[in-house]
């Protein structure tokens, strides 16, 4: 079956540091890939997405590129802020067929940014 | 209020009791989902629904029952709560446009504790 693996957390950084959160996936088909973010006490929000190989998703300074050859979708940001402290989830789904858009999530990575 | 809401936000119950978690969305999205969030597991799909009166099991359905008599509501019932069902529960909805599945929109979550 499909699965998503994220780097172990928690990740602790100083403000303005470079961020990478690794995500790799195993899929039987050609999925769409997502990064969701969960701020403390809230539900998940879509951060960015990519629907096919070599697509780059970007939002709020975060970027991730869909790499089919390495089955990866690593999240990066050049300069993190304290307000980026949250839990980040990598996920996949299939755009069609009988999947109904069900998401398969990684285990989540806690990011804490200190001033 | 527009959006997706969950109630209650917090619930404490005892082993063996029946508990119902409510989910309501105002967008008339076709698809709705229930996930549980546990440390180390990310989010796991419990049940999903493609439309009113159409539901199906997800990854971890045992001990849960759902119904969907109206498009906007998707309640989740724990028939006889167990300690292992202590978790944070998220409801999500998603539109279907042009034959493709789109991002899921998440509610704020319900934190359930079973004593």
Q: What is the pLDDT of residues A20-36, one digit of tens each?
A: 999 999 988 888 899 99
Q: Which of A92-96, B18-22, B60-64, B78-82 has the lowest mean pLDDT?
A: A92-96
Whether residue A82 has pLDDT greater than 70: yes
| Residue B45 with chain A: CB contacts under 8 Å | 102-103
User: Which residue of chain B is at minimal alpha-carbon distance from A87?
Assistant: B42
pLDDT grade for B8, boundaries at 50, 70 and 90: very high
φ/ψ (deg, to 5) at A95: -75, -20
Give the pLDDT confidence score for residue B101 in this predicted structure.
Answer: 57
Look-up: residue for tokens 């997706």? B4
CA distance B100 to chain A (A): 5
**Backbone φ, ψ for residue B69 (5° rounding):** -80, -25
- Which tokens sit at B23? 């989910």
Q: Output the pLDDT for position A9.
A: 82
Q: Do A101 and B102 touch (CB under 8 A)?
A: yes
Total residues belonging to chain B: 115
Cβ separation of B40 and A93 shorter than 8 Å? no
Beta strands in chain B, from DSSP E residues, in sequence order: 4-7, 10-13, 19-25, 31-38, 42-51, 54-57, 64-66, 76-78, 87-94, 96-97, 100-101, 105-106, 110-114
Report the distance separating Cα B96 and Cα B64, nearest Å: 26
What pLDDT score does B63 carry?
96
Q: Which residue has the higher pLDDT, A37 or A93?
A: A37
How many percent of chain A have pLDDT more than 90? 75
CB-based contacts of B99, cutoff 8 Å, min separation 6: A96
How high is the pLDDT of residue A1? 80
pLDDT of residue A52: 87
Please report the pLDDT score of residue B13 as a whole number. 97
Q: How far apart are CA A13 and CA B21, in angstroms?
A: 37
Position A103 scores a pLDDT of: 87
- A56 burial type by CB count under 10 A (0-12 exposed, 13-18 middle, 19+ buried): exposed
The two tokens of residue B39 are 């440390």
Q: Output the pLDDT for position A96.
A: 61
Contacts 24+ apart (CB under 8 A), B42-48: B42/A4, B42/A6, B42/A89, B42/A105, B42/A106, B42/A107, B42/A108, B43/A44, B43/A89, B43/A103, B43/A105, B43/B90, B44/A105, B45/A102, B45/A103, B46/B76, B46/B89, B47/B76, B48/A100, B48/A102
**B74-86 average pLDDT score:** 97
The C-alpha of B63 sits at a distance from chain A's nearest C-alpha, in angstroms, of 20
Taking CB atoms and an 8 Å limit, are A99 and B101 in contact across chains?
yes
How distant is the Cα of B96 from the closest Cα of chain A, in angstroms?
Answer: 9
The answer to whether the CB of A42 falls within 8 A of the CB of B108 is yes
Q: Which pLDDT belongs to residue A73?
A: 97
pLDDT for position A98? 62
Locate the chain B residue with the closest alpha carbon to A49. B103
pLDDT of residue A99: 63
* A34 to B48: CB separation less than 8 angstroms, yes or no: no
Average the pLDDT over A42-49 and give the result. Answer: 92
User: Is the torsion defined by CA of A84, A87, A90, A93 positive or negative?
Assistant: negative
């Amino acid at each position: 079956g499909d699965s998503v693996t994220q780097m172990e957390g928690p990740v602790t950084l100083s403000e303005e540091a470079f961020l990478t959160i690794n995500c790799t996936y195993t899929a039987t088909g050609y999925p769409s890939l997502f990064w969701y973010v969960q701020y403390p006490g809230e539900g998940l929000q879509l951060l960015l997405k990519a629907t096919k190989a070599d697509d780059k998703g970007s939002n709020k300074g975060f970027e991730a590129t869909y790499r089919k050859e390495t089955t990866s979708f690593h999240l990066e940001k050049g300069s993190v802020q304290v307000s980026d402290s949250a839990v980040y989830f990598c996920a996949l789904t299939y755009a069609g067929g009988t999947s109904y858009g069900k998401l398969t999530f990684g285990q989540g990575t806690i990011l804490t940014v200190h001033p | 209020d527009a959006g997706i809401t969950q109630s209650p936000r917090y619930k404490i119950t005892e082993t063996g009791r029946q508990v119902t978690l409510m989910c309501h969305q105002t967008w008339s999205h076709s698809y709705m989902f229930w996930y549980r969030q546990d440390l180390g597991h990310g989010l796991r799909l419990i049940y999903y629904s493609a439309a009113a009166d159409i539901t199906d099991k997800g990854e971890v359905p045992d001990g849960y029952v759902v119904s969907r008599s109206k498009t906007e509501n998707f309640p989740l019932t724990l028939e006889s709560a167990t300690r292992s069902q202590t978790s944070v529960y998220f409801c999500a909805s998603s539109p279907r446009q042009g034959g493709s599945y789109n991002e899921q929109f998440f509610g704020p979550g319900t934190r359930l504790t079973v004593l």
